[in-house]
Amino acid sequence: MKNSGISIKKDSVYKLLTKPFIVVIVMLLAPLLGCLDRNFSFFFGLGIVLLILWSSNFKWSLFGFTKRLTKKTIIYSILLTITLLFLDNIIALFVESYFGPPNYSSLEGIKHNPVNFIIILIIVWTIVAFGEEFLFKGYYYKWLASLFGNTKKAWLFAGIITSIYFGISHSYQGISGVITIAIMTLADSYIFYKNKTNLWLLILIHGLYDTWGLTFFYLDKKSPITLFIESLF
């Protein structure tokens, strides 16, 4: 009887949280919690996603986890990350020429500090790379596209909305950070649109991308890609 009760509760939670409009409500409520602490916004959304996952009996395919992590995906993610790093540096160069450099003060503690650097890398690969892609691509983006009709235009519209949404969630980095991140997220969104069943690809790209940036922030040096792009312009 106890197991039957749990099953009924799961079904009820699943039916409620998978209603088409719920993703919109979550996206509207999350920023309100972010007014108290920016982390509340993220963990509220992630909590909803985990509830859906639990109530679906861990149906990972709902969020784009259909394919297994393979060597091909890893190689593809490395190549895409390199491409995106060049694109990011070009975009950042122009954005910062108008709005100034982004605010990375929250990362100052990792400069020349190996312990803090290792800790932040662990956080990046778990909470940030996995958690943010799980929430923003696997849930917000994918489910908004489904809500809008799952057409090419629906995916484009959902991609624009979630990219702006993700950019604004990084407002602590200043206007330059918001704009650059929003544009880069739109590029990431296109990659996910072309690989809807392989969220692992986006997670790897996110992790590699942030690891590259954090490594040179830790060293307090500009990356070779940044120096190359600056030499061209």
**Closest by Cα among 125, 231, 136, 120 to 181:** 136
∠ CA 147-188-230, nearest 5°, is: 150
Amino acid at 180: T
Quick: pLDDT tens for 66-85.
989 999 999 999 999 999 99
Look up residue 69 and give its DSSP letter.
Answer: P
- What pTM did the predictor assign? 0.94
Mean pLDDT of 203-223: 97
pLDDT at 1 over 60: no
Task: Assess contact for 175 and 159: CB atoms under 8 A.
Answer: no
Residues 8 and 30 in one domain: yes
Residues 11 and 107 in one domain: no
pLDDT at 115 over 70: yes
Q: Domain range for residue 169?
A: 62-232
Quick: pLDDT tens for 30-40.
999 988 888 89
Locate all alpha helices (DSSP H) within 2-66, ordered by sequence.
2-17, 22-34, 38-55
pLDDT at 168 over 60: yes
Residues 66 and 169 in one domain: yes
Mean pLDDT of 100-113: 94
Residues 218 and 162 in one domain: yes
